[in-house]
């Protein structure tokens, strides 16, 4: 069975294709990929990777509106390799490319966010508002540890906000040194704690990079070696965290690592209702009007915005909810799940 050859030819043909203008060339590559799998069908009938590739091609052709009839491209020659493990050795720090090569399809992704009060959107699209004061893990798996530290939003209030974020990218021998990123209120640096902006001197060090999107307010950390992107923002007196993680990475934990807000949400004892009760610091209708300017769809992001503005009296919380929604728009693998209604 020569399905891995088909996979690698497809990867080589599509590596340079990026953005909305890739359409015709991408469809040509998919038809070539499909032709290659048909040629190996007889010898690959019992191979799981073969069947995974066939289904993946069908899905990609539907998603990209590709016709099954049309031109096919000759396979692109692969560059000469310094050793028999050329692809694996060169691309072990490019998770998406490596996954596509091994499985014949792109990886799946999951999204989690923590913002405002804090409100947690889990990998499973559950949505909770938490009372969590002190330090709580958002993620704790084989690749990442993310801890959020919360403090009261106002004196005498039950509501809390994230005032500190600690993100540890665990050592990955082939790609990066262990790196620690830490953000606090009024200190959202565009560098790791050791002053570096990438994964270190190892050959795959450039597969972990920090980008400054807005000085002191918004950074993006791309961890290509694990197919993961993280956004950290400050809006008003709170920090927010958003992540797009490869499914395989998000699930890489043991039973002992059971407390992860991104996985299970808030513990039941720490959950709060998002219905503002009693006298708030801002009238309810005023808060609704302010939030509607930034969030015209009255989903959980809108509800969270109203709750935060009423509870804190800080109108900057409209920006926190808006930023979380924009991250979700970028990071969610399924656009139809962008808005959650409860």
The neighbouring-strand residues paired with 132 are: none
Give domain limits for the chain: 2-64, 109-271
pLDDT, position 279: 59
Dihedral sign computed on CA atoms, order 206, 209, 212, 216: negative
Per-residue DSSP letter, 178: -
For tokens 């570096």, the residue is 196
pTM of the complete model: 0.74
The two three-digit tokens of residue 26, written as one number:
């991408």
pLDDT, position 214: 95
CATH code for the domain defined by 109-271: 3.40.1000.10
pLDDT, position 18: 64
What whole-number distance in Å separates Cα of residue 266 and Cα of residue 270?
6
Count how many Cα atoms sit within 13 Å of the Cα of residue 152 in the half-sphere of its side chain: 5
What whole-number distance in Å separates Cα of residue 115 and Cα of residue 135?
15
Instruction: Name the H helices within the chain.
Output: 3-14, 23-39, 41-44, 48-63, 86-91, 95-103, 247-250, 261-264, 284-294, 300-312, 317-331
pLDDT, position 51: 84
| Per-residue model confidence as pLDDT tens for the chain (342 residues) | 788 888 888 888 877 776 666 778 888 888 898 999 888 888 887 787 888 888 888 888 888 888 888 777 655 444 444 444 444 444 789 999 999 988 888 999 999 999 998 999 999 999 999 887 889 999 999 999 999 998 887 666 666 789 999 999 999 988 999 999 999 999 999 999 999 999 998 889 999 999 999 999 999 999 999 999 999 999 988 999 999 999 999 999 998 888 899 999 999 988 888 776 555 788 999 999 999 999 999 999 999 999 999 988 889 899 999 999 999 999 998 889 999 997
pLDDT, position 74: 58
């Amino acid at each position: 069975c020569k399905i891995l050859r088909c996979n690698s030819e497809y990867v080589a043909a599509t590596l340079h294709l990026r953005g909305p203008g890739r359409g015709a060339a991408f469809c040509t590559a998919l038809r070539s990929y499909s032709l290659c799998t048909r040629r190996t069908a007889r010898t690959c009938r019992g191979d799981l990777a073969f069947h995974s590739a066939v289904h993946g091609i069908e899905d990609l052709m539907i998603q990209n509106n590709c016709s099954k009839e049309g031109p096919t491209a000759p396979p692109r020659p692969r560059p000469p390799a310094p050793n028999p493990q050329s692809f694996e050795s060169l691309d072990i720090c490019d998770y998406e490319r490596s996954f596509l090569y091994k499985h014949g399809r792109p990886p799946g992704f999951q999204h989690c966010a923590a913002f405002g009060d804090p409100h947690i959107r889990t990998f499973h699209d559950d949505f909770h508002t938490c009372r969590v004061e002190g330090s709580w893990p958002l993620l704790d798996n084989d690749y990442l540890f993310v801890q959020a530290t919360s403090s009261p939003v106002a004196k005498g209030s039950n509501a809390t906000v994230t005032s500190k974020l600690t993100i540890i990218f665990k050592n990955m021998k082939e790609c990066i040194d262990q790196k620690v990123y830490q953000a606090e209120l009024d200190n959202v640096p565009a560098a790791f704690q050791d002053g570096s902006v990438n994964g270190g001197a190892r050959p795959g060090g450039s597969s972990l990079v920090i980008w400054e999107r807005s000085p002191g307010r918004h950074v993006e950390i791309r961890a290509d070696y694990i197919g993961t992107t993280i956004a950290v923002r400050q809006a008003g007196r709170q920090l927010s965290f958003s992540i797009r993680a490869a499914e395989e990475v998000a699930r890489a934990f043991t039973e002992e690592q059971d407390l992860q807000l991104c996985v299970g949400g808030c513990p039941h004892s720490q959950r709060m209702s998002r219905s503002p009760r009693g006298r708030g610091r801002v009238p309810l209708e005023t808060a609704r009007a302010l939030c509607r300017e930034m969030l015209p769809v009255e989903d959980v992001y809108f509800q969270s915005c109203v709750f935060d503005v009423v509870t804190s009296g800080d109108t900057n919380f409209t920006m926190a909810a808006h930023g979380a929604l924009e991250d979700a728009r970028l990071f969610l693998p399924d656009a139809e799940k962008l808005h959650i209604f409860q």
